[in-house]
Structure 1
């Protein structure tokens, strides 16, 4: 039986990155137009139900494979037995929605201390430890492989190469050899897990740039979609990578390469044009990632603000700035602290009246650059508090630890201002999470122009992250902003984020992947979606 789906109109909002139109071209026979109007477009997808309908419509089948360094759950031993920990954020939610049908597979590095104990002889997590319809295949990496592939090439090489900061990339031949070897192992796992000669493979991020080409060599008909989550460097910066030709060859073997922003897409296209190996066949475009828009929300409880302040040792009635970041040198935390210090100098009436709660989750602690940023932030916090603090008030409250999703949401809802001051960021979902949490239409977002989210959230107070005075003035303006202006700005930002969810992001990537693959294999019913998309882009 052929399923029929009713579309719903798409509200066009500034910042909507939809690729497919919500109307049909003229000239189709009446019967066909009636049939096509029952099809769901990627632009219509808002939630997991919409995404499941689209996947069935596209004919993705059940041979879907997600490949990522990080697993959707990590198992650990505790005094109470083995527990499963899931990373926070909407990406796992969206990718699990892609794998909602039986038969899909997620391949990832097994890093938990109980991960091996929860797997069978084929390295699949046993069902009693995985509440999901898909298979989770774990890959085991040795300490030298983690040091070379992950800590070395990925995070001392590619990460600083792609982010405009003061940290220089480090490239070692041994790290590259581990990177190639580990990427080969991931690719071999894809081939082993594929149930057909034409699986749909979603590869996640810069850790696995060689996987598309390695899979293509074994499964030439595979639909391979790679999403690069971090900024893509300009050609002159990419030229510093000794193995840029190999990395570009790996990426260009994809069916679709997804980038975060039009600027990243343009950088990639310039790099593609400079490749000695030729342009390759991959379709390249910007697919801004987003979050899962929350369901029905109650307004914040009247005592939530005081409760959050009590949890972090902040006095009742003190106005609250919040920053939520990994302790990463790309996030601009020292610049944020300097700006807040300057604000307190310029406006002494704020002393005792406002505190900055900075949540800084530790990450990549084995690497010197991360050890240094942690030391720097702690030292600056201590200095500012010693300079301005009193027995009853501390200007900066540093929570140098992870916080669960519920706590973070409470902090968003209790704060007056959210600070996102990244020196350079692919997207920064904290900005979108803050907007989603503020269903009372209050609160102000101060947002770096160097974060990908700035292209969509134009009603934030946009700042240059190295302009300390500018950030200080923006914080002051945010604290002084009248309630009606807060409401107007927040309503506009919520309209953008609610229309462009992480499920829509996945839908556009997969929709483009399937229609492009269909065009190459003469499947007109799917290739026609691409013709409509092209017409829509020409009209825009």
Structure 2
């Protein structure tokens, strides 16, 4: 497994070194699979105490209490992290791939750093693989060039890549200055996965219009340099059963007690909950405005409802994210000033890095969870919330521009996050929904997530690779 983000960080605290599970949908989804199969996970070592717990090669066995896999950390300089992660990955590729009308910023220096960091990761992959047969499972847009570098070093290694964010249409992609090199990197894969078929279609059309390659639309494969890359949809999911167990843990109870103290008297208050990284793609500003609109149109709801927003600071080195933080603060202040009373505030904005158990606690407390992304590959908050609701109750307001909407559909309250009026209407409908309807909808959603859990996703990915290898062997 190869990813930018690591599944565990080691951080310095007053008591010594603390192990932290980052609140990352990608890491949460992939950890159960790596635990099940073992092997090595290669990732950027970003924790303040990460170097203190590894051997001379940067390896550490995890989890510490019952090791199931080895984490091999890759060390990046501050300049590398700035150019590769904050620069090319998050000011160029991220806005390029998300249709939220945010202009990407392209820098040759960032691209050169992105390229060199991808080579560094590839060198570590080849070192870990040695001369043994290996399958390399690459994650996301940070490592688009790595598959070609690995294949150049070891053509026999089988490489799978899962792209966790949307893939843009060809017209959007063609402004990317280094498009041919990036596409060539991805075509080093044996198997390339996206969340939904629409993104697969976009990728095939992009390749067809951009570089010299043979695109086979019937078999969804692309030949570049005489070898094929197969392109397939694999909607990612979560560890349904584990989340259901964890939500009953004493740690979640402790986090719930903490929230109750922080939020004050919320007995009898109908809670709308959001749990997101602070990111312009997540539709948090739109969510806040729709909630404000609901209160303006239905003043009788004042004092009866509240919006609790868990907001994890993210990419604060990037100017657009700093401006977004300021805009959120101003909007929350404005809405609270307009509606609050001495006893009640409509919005509680909890900016912090809430851990996995705190997020589960918030899901359990929620009457409604709001997922209002302007564009999202999948969005695992939706599936985590459903998995956590072992009581069979709760409502999901879900953006139609998420991959999750393709699977959960009519059991949710689907919204267009650009349409504040309809979002406000959906919030009112959620508040007034009868218990029988709530439970029927949740039953349908839970059945879907239970059936299509993360093990099902992983199984389909590797079954498809096996099918492809058998097909190649028979030709």
TM over 0.5: yes
Residues 139 and 334 of structure 1: is their aligned pair in 2 closer, same or farther, counting only changes over 3 Å?
same
2:440 counterpart of 1:488: yes
Candidates 193, 200, 212, aligned match of 1:277: 212
2:454 aligned with 1:509 = no
Q: 1:310, 1:316 within 8 Å by CA — same for their partners in 2?
A: no
The match for 2:266 among 290, 303, 315 is 315
Q: Which residue is 1:373 aligned to?
A: 324
Partner of 2:125: 190
* 8 A Cα contact 1:300 1:440, kept in partner: no
Q: Does 1:154 align with 2:103?
A: no
Which of the pair is proportionally richer in strand?
Answer: 2
Pair 1:367–1:338, CA change in 2 (3 A): same
Cα shift readout 1:197-245 (whole Å, capped 9, x = no counterpart): 5310000000000111110111111111100000111110010111111
Deviations 1:47-69 (A, max 9, x none): xxxxxxxxxxxxxxxxxxx1111
Give yes or no for contact 2:139–2:162 (8 Å, CA) kept in 1.
yes
Alignment of 1:9-408 (within 5 A): 66-88=1-23, 91-92=26-27, 95-100=30-35, 104-125=39-60, 131-278=66-213, 279-280=222-223, 281-295=228-242, 308-408=259-359
User: CA–CA distance in 1 between the matches of 2:161 and 2:247?
Assistant: 38
Answer yes or no: is 1:426 the counterpart of 2:377: yes
Structure 1 stretches of 5 or more lacking a match? 1-65, 525-540
Structure-2 residue corresponding to 1:441: 392
**1:189 offset after TM fit, Å?**
0.8
- Aligned partners of 2:38 and 2:393: how far apart in 1? 44
**Matches of 2:392 and 2:184, distance apart in 1:** 47
Q: Which residue of 476, 480, 499 corresponds with 2:451?
A: 499
What is the SS of the residue equivalent to 2:101?
coil
What's the Cα RMSD here? 2.3
Q: State the Cα distance separating 1:141 from its structure 2 match.
A: 0.7
Q: Check the 8 A contact 1:323/1:418 in 2, yes or no.
A: yes
Structure 1 residues 78 and 166: CA distance shift in structure 2, 3 A: same
Q: Deviations over 1:273-297 (max 9, x none)?
A: 2232313211101111111002565
Q: How many residues align?
A: 456
Offset at 1:314?
Answer: 4.4
Deviations 1:496-531 (A, max 9, x none): 111011111111111112221233234x9xxxxxxx
User: SS state of the match for residue 231, structure 1?
Assistant: coil
CA contact (8 A) 1:197 1:221 kept: no
C-alpha distance in structure 2 between counterparts of 1:298 and 1:143, whole Å? 36
Q: Report if aligned partners of 2:25, 2:380 keep a CA contact under 8 Å in 1.
A: no
Structure 1 stretch displaced more, 126-135 or 479-488: 126-135
Partners of 1:420 and 1:134 lie apart in 2 by 33
Distance change >3 Å, CA 445–CA 110, structure 1 → 2: same
The 8 Å contact of residues 90 and 502 in structure 1, kept in 2 or not, is answered as no
Distance in 1 between residues matched to 2:447 and 2:334, nearest whole Å: 40
Q: Is the 8 A contact 2:311 2:352 kept in 1?
A: yes
Unaligned runs of 5+ in 2: 214-221
**Which has the larger Rg?**
1
